[in-house]
Amino acid sequence: MKQPYFFLFLVFLFSNLTFSQSVDDVFPQKKMRKDLAIFKDLRQKANSGLYKYRTQKQIDSIYSWADNEIKYLSTYRDFYNLICKLTDFEGSLHNDTSLPDKIFQNLRKEKSGYFPFPIKWIDGKWLVNFENGEIPLGSEIISINGIPIAEIISSLYKYYTTDGENLTGKKIGLRTHFARYFRLHYGLKDQFIVSYKKQNTEQIETKTISGVSHNDYYKNFQNRFSKPYDQIYYVDLADNQKYNFKKLDSLTAKLTIYSFAMGDEKSKEHSEYVKFLDSVFIQIKKDNIKNLIVDVRQNGGGTDPNDLVTYSYLAQRNFQENKKAWISFKKIPLLKYYNINVPKIIRPLLVGKFNKEFQEIFPVEENHRFYQNENSNDHKIWTPNKNAFTGKIYLLISPAIASAGSLFASMAAGNENTTTIGEETMGGYYGHNGHTPLEYKLPKSKIITQFSVVNLEQDVPKKEHQIKNRGIIPDYHIVQTYKDYLKQADTQLDFVYDLIKKN
C-alpha cells in the first residue's frame, strides 16, 4: 500500500533535484555545455541580428571564451550571467534573456541581501536617488564593498540590452533595477560598505549599511527622489495621456509623444491619434507657428504605423519604413525548444501558420537570407502630409527612446530643418532588429531567450557625426545638471527655450 506514495515522493524529489529552485544552487557544467551549444545554435539559425554589429570572428571568439569559461563556473547564477553576457554582446535592444518564473519569484521573496537605495546617473556621476536614507540625497557613490562604482556599473551592463554599442540606454535599466542586478552579479550581501562624497565636497566618507529585502528595495525605488521628474517613464498611460500639444507663444509650440503604443490602422485609438495630429498641424499652419519642439524623450516604441504617420507631418521628402528588411530562415528552426505551451508533437501544426506568413512577407532568397520584396507594406512610399510642418524643428531625445520611438526620431533627426537636443538614444539610428520576436527555452536551465528576427535598415540619410553602431547622436549634448536634479528642473527643455530665443 505504501509503494505508490513512495513512488510519488521519488518523482517529487527527482523533479526538484533536476531543476534549480534558487539562482544560487549548484548547476552541473555538463548541463551548462548542453544549453550553451543549443543557445549558440539558436542564434546562428534564427537570429538575423547575430552579425549586425559584430563580425563572425568576434562572435566565434566570445563563444570560444564562453565554452572555456564554463570550467570555472559552478552555480545556476554563474551560467545565467554567462548567457546574459552573450545576449548583450550581440547588440540589440530587443534581445532578452530571463530567468524561469519559479526562480524569479523566489528572488522576489528574498528577505535580505539587496542594496537599499535607488541610484541615478546625473551629469557624469552615480548619485544616491533617495531622501532621508543613511547616505544623504545626491551623494556621489565612489565604491561599494571596495569595488569602484565604474567597475560595478560595467559588470551590470549585460542585464540591459541596447542597440549596437550604445551605453546611455543601459543607465535607464540600471537606475531602475540596480539592486537586483547587483544581487545577480555579486550575490546576496548582508552589508554594504559604501564610500561616497556628499554634495559640494571632495571628502570621501564611508558608511556600512545593511542589506534589505527585494521588495523593500523596490518600495524605496517607488519613493525615489526623482519620481516627480521621471515617473512618466514607468506608468501605464491611458489613451488620452500618450500625447499632448501646447502652444507656448505666438511663434512656438510643443508636441509631446510619450508612446506609439496606440494600435494599428484598424484600432480606434490609432484613428483618434490621427485626428489629433491632423487638428494640431492644421492649427500650427493657421497660427503660422515657426518653431516646433517635438519631445519624444520617454518614447520606448509601440506599433506601426503611428511612428510613420507622425513623421509624415514633419517630413520634407518621400520616405518608407525601411530600405531593406530580412530574416535568416524559411521555417522557424529548432521547434522543440520554441517556448510555447503545447506538446512538442503538435508544435509544427501551430507554427505552420507563422511559417506561411514569414514566407509571404519575405519571399526573396539571396545568400541564405530572406528579404521583403517591393510589394511589402514596409516599402510603401509615404509622402509628406499636406499640412506638414516646414518651420524649425527642435527634437528632444534621451536614452529611453527605443524601437518605433527611435525609428521616428531617426527620421526626424535626418531632416535638414531639425536640431536635435539631449542624449544619445538606446535605439539605433541606421537600423535595428525588430518587428517579430521569437522566444525559446533552454532545456536544462529553463532560461528563456527572446530576440526579434527582422533585420532592418532604416530609411534615414547618412550624417557626418552619426556613428554607425550607435543611437541617435544629438547636435547638442545636454544632460540634466546636478543643480536642476535637486530642483526637479528640466535642463534640456530650458536649453531649447534659450536656443529658440537666440535664433
Torsion of CA 345, 348, 350, 354, to 10 degrees: 160
- Residue 475: count of CB within 10 angstroms of its CB: 16
CA distance 314 to 149: 42
DSSP class of residue 260 equals B
Whose cell is 491611458? That residue is 238
CA 349 to chain centre: 33
Phi and psi of 38, rounded to 5°? -70, -40
Which runs of consecutive H residues, i.e. helices, occur in 110-249? 149-156, 170-186, 214-222, 227-230
The answer to whether 421 and 473 are in contact (CB under 8 A) is no
The answer to whether 288 and 390 are in contact (CB under 8 A) is no
Q: Which three cell numbers stand for residue 315?
A: 517630413
Quote the pLDDT of residue 375: 86
The answer to whether 119 and 196 are in contact (CB under 8 A) is no
The answer to whether 63 and 44 are in contact (CB under 8 A) is no
CA distance 315 to 60: 42
Q: CA-based angle 495:499:502, to the nearest 5? A: 140
Please name which of 492, 482, 401, 493 lies closest in space to residue 122, comparing C-alpha atoms: 482
Phi and psi of 162, rounded to 5°? -140, 170
CA distance 237 to 230: 14
Largest CA-CA distance found in the chain, in angstroms, rounded:
90
Single-letter code of the amino acid located at 180: R
Beta strands 291-295 and 243-247 are unpaired
DSSP class of residue 201 equals -
CB within 8 A of 93, min separation 6: which ones?
161, 162, 163, 169, 402, 403, 426, 427, 432
The answer to whether 410 and 164 are in contact (CB under 8 A) is no
Q: Which three cell numbers stand for residue 141?
A: 557613490
Please name which of 79, 70, 115, 119 lies closest in space to residue 97, comparing C-alpha atoms: 79
DSSP strand E in 174-270: where? 191-197, 204-210, 243-247, 252-257
DSSP class of residue 296 equals -
DSSP class of residue 338 equals B
The answer to whether 173 and 160 are in contact (CB under 8 A) is yes
Q: How far apart are the first and last CA of the chain?
A: 90
Domains observed in the chain: 17-98 (no CATH), 119-232 (2.30.42.10), 239-502 (3.90.226.10)
Quote the pLDDT of residue 8: 41
CA distance 427 to 136: 34
CB within 8 A of 154, min separation 6: which ones?
none
DSSP class of residue 10 equals H
Which H/E stretch holds residue 37? helix 29-46
Q: What is the pTM of this model?
A: 0.92
Beta strands 252-257 and 96-98 are unpaired
Average pLDDT, consecutive stretches of 10 residues, N- to C-terminus, the chain (503 residues): 42 46 95 98 97 96 98 98 98 96 96 98 96 95 98 98 96 96 98 95 96 98 96 89 95 97 92 96 97 97 94 96 94 92 78 89 94 89 96 97 95 96 97 94 97 96 91 97 96 97 89
Query: DSSP assignment of 399-420, as one string?
Result: TT--THHHHHHHHHHTSTTEEE
From residue 431, alpha-carbon distances to 25, 410, 470 in Å are 40, 9, 10
DSSP 3-state of 441: strand
Please name which of 292, 294, 311 lies closest in space to residue 253, comparing C-alpha atoms: 292
